[in-house]
Amino acid sequence: MSGFSFKLLATDGAARRGEITTPHGKVRTPAFMPVGTQATVKALYPEQVSQAGADIVLANTYHLMLRPGAERIAALGGLHRFMNWDGPILTDSGGFQVMSLAKLRKVSDKGVTFQSHLDGSTHQLTPERAVEIQTLLGADIQMQLDECIASPATRAEAMRAMRLSLLWAERARKSFSAAGGQALFGIVQGNVFEDLRTESARTLSGMDFAGHAVGGLAVGEGQALMLEVLDFTVPLLPADRPRYLMGVGTPEDILESVARGIDMFDCVIPTRAGRHGHAYTRFGRLNLRNARHADDARPLDAESACPAANAFSRAYLHHLIKAGEHLGAMALSWANIAYYEGLMAGIREAISEGRFDEFRRRTLADLARGEDFAER
């Protein structure tokens, strides 16, 4: 069984192409991780996720600790066997979900005590317990417990949460064992404040984490401010470790963040958009609910390798969405994941060939033309 490692293969400006090795296989970076919140990427079979081009998926510690429980999953052979996914898995620590979903949260130096959003039962999540849960799940890449606060926030509140996250990072690092070849990432916090992000990034860089995430973004601050934070944060992170931007995002977000040196992404957007009737294509986003698609015999993208994008007509997909048929959400989710993974493949190739900036500008221009352009 291989352990965790990261190899930088090419650079083009700040954009980086690399390869992560984990106990369950390799991850080509820049990478987009489809979100499997409940140990499933919504509306897709595992083999469809793999066929779309995904090397790695993300699962959710908070949800899985509540249902069905980490100990139960471990007894059933671990998360890979449980969800029938033999590739790498990254699990988040649950910090964001505690903020956004849990009830009656009480945060202290020790950890966070909260009530489940499912049944009101009380739970405690500490840095050590978050590592223990992720180890029971068998995640290849684990995340430290952090406190993710909403934006906007005061500087005082951002400083308190950042320093608490640093305290928790140190405890998580001490409790983590890489005996199984897994890796633990630290999470940079500090909201939008440069001095706080600097303190967080520099302190974490000295703790010997296998990789680093930029957390606390895409929580309401807007793209321009998010990119500004990346501009002063990413250069502080070690160049020989993967850099992961949590919870991001749109194709535009990904392109701009790769240009700033980010290697890994996750977001619910492609599957959520699919369930709501929206399709991502090479030339913009389509709303399949619109009546303009009712008589359109063309597929979403005849050149796509994804059957959902090249085999079904837009008229048929429009019908499925309007009729509320499950196949509509399934097909569009599959097509959207394939689009995202195709975008990442294009990014990796462009970096290797030294033409990433051209690729970024052309792709952003195509996306900006919108649905009328995608109709052609």
Which of 12, 140, 266, 301 is flagged as catalytic? 266
pLDDT at residue 99 in the model: 80
CA dihedral 58, 63, 69, 71 (to 10 degrees): 40
pLDDT at residue 304 in the model: 96
Q: Which of helix, strand or coil describes residue 172?
A: helix
pLDDT at residue 244 in the model: 98
Cβ neighbors of 60 (< 8 A, separation 6 or more) are 35, 36, 37, 38, 91, 92, 94, 97
C-alpha count within 13 angstroms, C-beta hemisphere, residue 174: 9
Describe the strand order of the beta sheet including 25-29 as a list of residue ranges: 5-12, 15-22, 25-29
pLDDT at residue 103 in the model: 81
Catalytic residue at 366? no
* Whole-number Cα distances in Å, 163 to 4, 94, 258, 312: 28, 18, 27, 51
pLDDT at residue 353 in the model: 98
C-alpha count within 13 angstroms, C-beta hemisphere, residue 163: 6
Q: Which of helix, strand or coil describes residue 153?
A: coil
Question: Which of 145, 212, 210 is closest to 181 using CA atoms?
Answer: 210
Rounded to whole angstroms, the Cα distance separating 80 from 70 reads 13
pLDDT digits (tens, 9 = 90+) for 323-352: 999 999 999 999 999 999 999 999 999 999
Asked if 286 contacts 349 with a C-beta cutoff of 8 angstroms, the reply is: no
Give bridge partners of residue 103 from the DSSP assignment: 115
Q: Give the gyration radius of the chain's Cα atoms.
A: 20
Low-confidence ranges of the chain (pLDDT < 70): 1, 370-376
Q: Output the furthest CA–CA distance in the chain (Å, rounded).
A: 61
Cβ neighbors of 14 (< 8 A, separation 6 or more) are 234, 259, 260, 261
pLDDT at residue 235 in the model: 98
Q: Which two tokens stand for residue 97?
A: 């979900």
What phi and psi, each to the nearest 5 degrees, are found at residue 21?
-105, 130
Catalytic residue at 266? yes
Q: Which two tokens stand for residue 159?
A: 């400083």
Q: Which of helix, strand or coil describes residue 158?
A: helix
Q: Which two tokens stand for residue 252?
A: 């535009």
Which of 92, 140, 253, 263 is flagged as catalytic? 92
Please identify which residue in the block is written with the tokens 């979100």.
35
State the SS3 of 114-139.
EECCCCCCEEEECHHHHHHHHHHHCC
Q: Which fold has domain 30-267?
A: TIM Barrel (3.20.20)
Question: Which of 263, 172, 160 is closest to 211 using CA atoms?
Answer: 263
Burial class of residue 372 (count of CB atoms within 10 Å of its CB; 0-12, 13-18, 19+): exposed
Question: Which of 164, 169, 257, 246 is closest to 206 using CA atoms?
Answer: 169
Among left, alpha and beta (phi > 0; psi -120 to 50; other), residue 324 is left
State the alpha helices, DSSP H only, in the chain.
46-51, 61-66, 70-75, 79-83, 95-100, 127-137, 155-175, 194-205, 223-233, 251-258, 269-275, 307-310, 314-323, 326-352, 356-368, 370-374
How do the domains of the chain map onto residue ranges?
30-267, 274-374
